[in-house]
Amino acid sequence: MAGPWYVRSGAAGTGDGLSWTNARTTLTTMTSVVAGDTIYVAHDHAEAPGANLTVTFPGTPANPNIVLCVLNTATHPVASTDWRTTGSVATTGIFSITTAGSAYIYGLTFNAGITAAGICGLTIGLNGNCFQYYDACVLRLSSTTNSASTRITIGATGNGTPSRIVLNNTQMSFNGIAYNLALSQGEIEWRNTGTPFPASVPTTLIAVVSQPILFTFEGIDFSSMVAGKSFIGTINSQYRLNFYGCKFGGGTISPATTSPAAEVYVVGSGLAASTTTSLAQKYALEGTETTDITIIRTGGASDGTVSVSRAYTPAAGALSLRPYAGLPMVKWNDTTGSNVTVTLYGIWNAAALPTNAQIWFETAWHGDATSPLMALQHNSRSNLSAAATNWTTDGSPWDATARANTTPYALGAAIKTSNTGRVFFCTTAGTTAGSEPGGYASATDGSTPVTDGTAAFRAGMRFAMTYTLSAPQPQLKGPVYLTPRIAGTTAAIWLDPEF
């Protein structure tokens, strides 16, 4: 290990890089730098060549370089009070920036295309098998050409070893709303950023996924991603997006997914000013699952503040051989050596009871007394050729928003009426009458729709699904997991995750 190395664009010494006086004037000069070396970049560093710029760190994933923007008079080892966030590595004109190799980078702005009137980009983590950690940095595109081809590309290209990129408290500054991200193979984590887009907010954040990618967003304030904005476009590729503890502004989290290998998960996130704090959502080819606080089972699950249910919108892609797989529901079990029966309650917008070929659940529990090995069984048909059977009716009360007089309702809208415990779904869009029609009082689950002004509403069908953990019986105390499965229907379904 040599150095530490010093970089300052205004230095006028020998350029050997071993002091501020003799600092190297560009970050691209890595002569004699080896893996694990520390590189100090001056707080007033501002390189901006009129050419493409590539920064290749010699660091490895096991021994990355440490690159710190610090006060240009700091002495080694620098004090924490000397750290700064003002250094800049840029290009002037229609030229791009690329970073490769492994490094921890603090406080630098990578700015591609200053004064450019054409397409240019910023690529980080280009080569495979690299680890890059950007801390308190800015990734900026300054071109004045508002083109979807102007983008930040993240991840390794080709078919080599994937990269891992971490962006902590790091902003993406776009000069136009058409700018976007292109993702390639590897793992990306973007976290802890209060203002992710200090300039223009992209219309579509992720526009290209060229190879398998895992992208985790954690603790990001996305309130600027309002209606009309999308986190990802319609992309037929393999990806998984995870959102943890993020704030949303009403933009589209996921479009209709076209790839069987693409999934989006949302946990513990929600809209600005939302009253629910435990959102659980999933978006996949087979359907969509969201947390609902309006259609709920009375006395059912709660996040500690409001009652919640899981709402499912199955897609045509939910097939018996590839059903929609819901997010797991979990409950602690203290019973061992005896049968345990679990019951899942639901309601759906249909005229008849669902069958065990349309909705069922898979159960996992500790069935081995000598290890944490879990038994894994389901309560669907025994195989695809077996006849389907209906689930049982249930009288549990459900709740929804109260019906309003002389109010337009869209198809599928849910209301409650004086027929307590039932939820009515709009089957004909229209405007309700000036008072509640008498037909609601006598309506039963799934019965003929009640005419209400120019609209019509049918009582949803309530049902219960059970399974007994008996072969084997639970042998160890621990969690029991229920994972809903849905296939062969596009009817909207709500389940109470409290079982």
Write out pLDDT tens, residues 423-446: 999 999 999 999 999 999 999 999
Cross-strand partners of 118: none
Do residues 334 and 266 share a domain? no
Measure CA 352 to chain center.
Answer: 35
Instruction: Report if residue 281 sits inside a domain.
Output: no
Question: Are residues 255 and 345 both part of a single domain?
Answer: no
Question: At residue 82, what are phi and psi to the nearest 5 degrees?
Answer: -95, -5
Question: Whole-angstrom Cα distance, residue 476 to residue 467?
Answer: 18
389 has pLDDT over 90: yes
Q: Is 361 a member of any domain?
A: yes
Q: Is the pLDDT of residue 305 over 90?
A: no
| pLDDT over 80 at 396, yes or no | yes
Has residue 277 got a pLDDT over 90?
A: no
Of 274, 302, 337, the last residue of a domain is: 274
Query: Over the range 288-324, which residues count as b (16 or more CB within 10 Å of their CB) and which as e?
Result: bbbbbbbbbbeebbebeeebbbbbbbbbebbeeeebb
Banded model confidence at residue 1, pLDDT cuts 50, 70, 90: low
Pair (267, 405) in one structural domain: no
Q: How many CA atoms lie within 13 A of 220 on its CB side?
A: 25
487 inside domain: yes
Tell me which amino acid residue 283 is.
Y
Would residue 302 count as lying in a domain?
no
Please give the pLDDT value at position 126.
85
| 9 DSSP 8-state letter | T
Backbone φ, ψ for residue 441 (5° rounding)? -60, -35
Find all residues with CB under 8 Å of 105, minimum gap 6, and list them: 67, 132, 133, 134, 135, 137
Domain count, the chain: 2
Dihedral, CA of residue 92, residue 95, residue 100 and residue 104, to nearest 10:
30
Is the same domain home to 146 and 14? yes
Cβ-contact 334, 321 below 8 angstroms: no
| Same-domain status, 437 and 499 | yes
Same structural domain, 348 and 266? no
Question: What phi and psi, each to the nearest 5 degrees, are found at residue 442?
Answer: -100, 0
- Tell me, what's the pLDDT at 278? 63
Separation between Cα atoms, residue 483 and residue 469, nearest integer Å: 15
State whether 258 and 348 are in the same domain.
Answer: no
**Same domain for 183 and 35?**
yes
Residue ending a domain, choose from 242, 274, 306? 274
Residues 246 and 182 in one domain: yes
Selection from 84, 174, 97, 100 nearest residue 135 by Cα: 84
**3-state SS, residue 442:** helix
- CA nearest to 46, candidates 88, 107, 96, 103: 88
In DSSP terms, which residues pair with 112 in a beta bridge? Answer: 141
Residue 311 domain-assigned (yes or no): no
CA 27 – CA 130 distance, rounded (Å)? 18
The whole-number average pLDDT for the span 275-294 is 87
Let me know if residue 308 belongs to a domain: no
DSSP state of 368: -
Burial of 213 (0-12, 13-18, 19+ CB in 10 A): buried
**Position 116 confidence tier, pLDDT thresholds 50, 70, 90:** confident
Give residue 480's domain range. Answer: 323-499
**pLDDT higher than 60, residue 398:** yes
Strand partners, 332: 479
297, part of any domain:
no
Examine the domain organization and report whether 228 and 329 are in the same domain.
no
Planar angle of CA 266, 272, 274, nearest 5 degrees: 80
pLDDT, tens digit, 9 for 90 and up, residues 130-189: 999 999 999 999 998 888 899 999 988 776 788 999 999 999 999 999 999 999 989 999
Q: Which two tokens stand for residue 111?
A: 């700015």
Residues 244 and 329 in one domain: no
Do both 198 and 347 map to the same domain?
Answer: no
286 is a domain residue: no
Q: In sequence order, what E strands does 52-176 have?
A: 53-56, 65-70, 87-92, 97-100, 103-106, 108-114, 122-124, 131-135, 138-141, 151-154, 163-168, 171-174
* Residue 275: predicted pLDDT: 61
Helical H segments across 336-473, by residue range: 439-442
> What value does the mean pLDDT take over residues 457-486?
98
